[in-house]
Structure 1
């Protein structure tokens, strides 16, 4: 690692602003820590108001410093030792769970499974998936379908994961999608696709986790000797924003990583997906979306630790401070609109390490020079939906039009559709009203109706096309 450089006044201001904001939002580790040896002899140490602002010495700047805090749940902090050759998707352990009514009403049964998966570099790791059998009966054709609902996790801490939040607290990232899916009678699998390092936005690892969660759900039997619940089910997946990253990568990697799901995965509905992080420097970095963009960079670094030596002193402090921040905090920290350039002494737009990592996580046309496989093309139909400025906000011909998604511009979604279409995938683009936040709600109708059609086996007309969304 490079020797730490003296921090500039602006960097100190950024660090202080982030620490103050995090303390107000209740982020672990943001409060002042006692200073060793301070206070009178024999008395309790006095708090050091600047402890959280002090960078670590070079020898302490290891990946562990920036990773999530250990969990009290042994499934996360001490998973069982497993033969690395264990097939991906293998269930390693199961447990029955309760989900409170404010997250899922009319719940039938819910279980969690510990599953063998792999990270961005195909190294084995264990993930957690939650499998829900709703109380609503399935009245459609065939067996009860299975929907992989890929939650907008957007977080860096293990207690931010769906498997934890479903059991313990109301989660704004889940309703109303989750409840509508349960009310329609689908079986559900929600995978902690960020994995044991909470690698937010690390697309390749996220997509593999989703596919392994689907594999596990199709093999899962709740009772000894009983047949699996979803072995013969149609499978559809849906996710928005951070969940769209996982959904898009699962669709793209499926023919190579999980070829047995070809013909089983009936469709992928992907909303607001950041397909290429390099495109978002101008629209997210240094804006109100900068909190999420910073969190995404820190999440990706957990899979690519060669990024850590690029942090300056301020970057070290911020990355350590943010190691357990959930989506709500990461979103609120956009109020500190400092760019990534305040956290590093390199130009993130031109540094070869940064560019290589971004290229390795670019969704769309596979690039063999950056780990892409030309066979990585979605085999099942895909719906891409996005906040689009072409869609009126209100009813009637004279309705005004909004700005569209200013943080993840609609042209990036158009390019993703074009690239998948050119590769031979069947893709439907659905523009919806609103920007990045409101599009998650205006799209509920068209997205879930599309999911319902695929789950019921309604044929999808092959080819690529745009459709007019409902206002």
Structure 2
């Protein structure tokens, strides 16, 4: 069979995964090539799961995690399928990936919500994290380096597929419940991963699309999962209003069954054009970066895409759903644990005003919010510049020393400032070096074994 260059390129990670899995000393070996969530039976919940409480573990497995799908991550990694809740209150199942350091702190863990920003199930972090998977998403694999920084500090880290089983991008309430139930699942799994404190302390964090899930989990904590021992939340580049970034992927995500499909799908079907349908179909099967390229130089408000033009945001059903997902709009949904919100003043993706509006709302509702603004920084540079501040907040949250009340700080540091983030970046770099070191040691061990066998044959 003829394979073109790109077909061969797609086979490379799978071949590498098999080679790495066969090396001696591998702690966690994939027994088969990772399957996409749509075809992997692991993702399908067992019959009768609806009767289980939210956060109940339905399936579990150990997997080989990786850097960019190519380099084995030398930590224990587990995946849990757990019961959670859809927008309409029905039972659905989601997956969280749990990373355990060699010597974990036993009284706490971090829930890291990645910004995978896609309405395709192929982009779910639980799939993209696995060794041998072609990196079609890139965002979750890149954020793996941020996760490693916490692992190297001794934190157990859980990263949920917060868009749920059908990749419902943007419905914050759904993401919030999936995150909280993912935390419950980790608590239920704590003996296996070495957490001895009951209940363990938790900090949730996320940037950009991950901040949607983090912010909504913080908002729903007191009503949906008050028993969780959550010490704080760190969120940056927060899209608190979904009218910002209302894209084909967002529309497709909001139309998913676990989200608002029953109400929204008939409306979209009545206004979508043939070109618009092609855009939605593309979003349903591709990840964020491909979506951006495919949607370049087009507007969701064009009548070539949908017949209402700019009036789409005023369509009653759409307007109601978007209003329901404005973070901070409901006083009853105010975080009860301290929150760090950080944002670049020149954020070209999520306007700075999005962050300040959310901060003012939560301040007015008596939440403890620390707001840090990074002067002259945009959406991409801010998560790097914020590494030291986020790290300090997490430590303080676990220690219970976060200042209560409201505070606001404007940071004028540059990414070129050697004191700005060097120590934190060194931690992330150390994670890669450590992975390469482990791979190198395995290579050396394999070479020694081969050499011994050769000498044995010659002597014989």
1:244-293, CA deviations, whole angstroms, 9 ceiling, x for partnerless residues? 000000000110010112xx110000111110123x2xxx56xxxxxxx3
**How many Å separate the matches in 2 of 1:332 and 1:350?**
27
**How many Å separate the matches in 2 of 1:387 and 1:222?**
40
Contact 1:219 1:229 in 2 (8 A): no
Residue aligning to 2:306: 344
Residue aligning to 1:316: 277
Q: Does 1:193 align with 2:136?
A: no
Q: 1:328 to 1:426 in 2, by over 3 A?
A: same
Q: Does 1:363 align with 2:327?
A: yes
Using the size of structure 2 for normalisation, the TM-score is: 0.73
Residue aligning to 1:266: 231
Write out the 4+ residue segments of structure 1 that deviate beyond 6 Å after TM superposition: 103-106
**How many Å separate the matches in 2 of 1:418 and 1:462?**
15
Residue aligning to 2:46: 80
Residue aligning to 1:438: 381
Contact 2:83 2:92 in 1 (8 A): yes
1:368-407, CA deviations, whole angstroms, 9 ceiling, x for partnerless residues? xxxxxx432101000111111xxxxxxxxxxxxxxx1133
Q: 1:245 to 1:230 in 2, by over 3 A?
A: farther
Residue aligning to 2:249: 295
Contact 2:104 2:194 in 1 (8 A): no
Give 1:114 shift.
Answer: 0.7
After TM superposition, the structure 1 = structure 2 runs for residues 214-233 of structure 1, keeping only pairs within 5 Å, are 214-221=183-190, 223=192, 231-233=198-200
**How many Å separate the matches in 2 of 1:97 and 1:127?**
16
Residue aligning to 2:421: none
What root-mean-square deviation, in Å, do the aligned CA atoms of Structure 1 and Structure 2 show? Answer: 2.5
**How many Å separate the matches in 1 of 2:47 and 2:412?**
51
**How many Å separate the matches in 1 of 2:219 and 2:396?**
21
User: Aligned to 2:336, which of 364, 379, 393?
Assistant: 379
Contact 1:218 1:229 in 2 (8 A): no
User: Aligned to 1:450, which of 363, 388, 393?
Assistant: 393
Contact 2:367 2:405 in 1 (8 A): yes
What number of residue pairs does the alignment pair up?
363
Q: 1:211 to 1:449 in 2, by over 3 A?
A: same
**How many Å separate the matches in 1 of 2:114 and 2:130?**
15
Q: 1:313 to 1:424 in 2, by over 3 A?
A: same
Unaligned runs of 5+ in 1: 1-24, 27-68, 286-292, 367-373, 389-403
**How many Å separate the matches in 2 of 1:322 and 1:365?**
29
Using the size of structure 1 for normalisation, the TM-score is: 0.72
**How many Å separate the matches in 2 of 1:229 and 1:301?**
41
Q: 1:255 to 1:319 in 2, by over 3 A?
A: same
Residue aligning to 1:333: 294
After TM superposition, the structure 1 = structure 2 runs for residues 50-449 of structure 1, keeping only pairs within 5 Å, are 71-76=38-43, 78-100=44-66, 107-138=74-105, 143-168=106-131, 169=133, 171-173=138-140, 174-221=143-190, 223=192, 231-261=198-228, 264-278=229-243, 280=244, 284=245, 293-302=247-256, 303-305=259-261, 306-307=264-265, 308-309=268-269, 310-341=271-302, 342-346=304-308, 347-366=311-330, 374-388=331-345, 404-433=346-375, 434-449=377-392
**How many Å separate the matches in 1 of 2:358 and 2:285?**
31
**How many Å separate the matches in 2 of 1:340 and 1:86?**
43
Give 1:230 shift.
Answer: 6.1
Contact 2:79 2:95 in 1 (8 A): yes
3-state SS of the aligned residue for 2:313? coil
Q: 1:435 to 1:119 in 2, by over 3 A?
A: same
Give 1:319 shift.
Answer: 1.0
Unaligned runs of 5+ in 2: 1-5, 8-35, 414-460
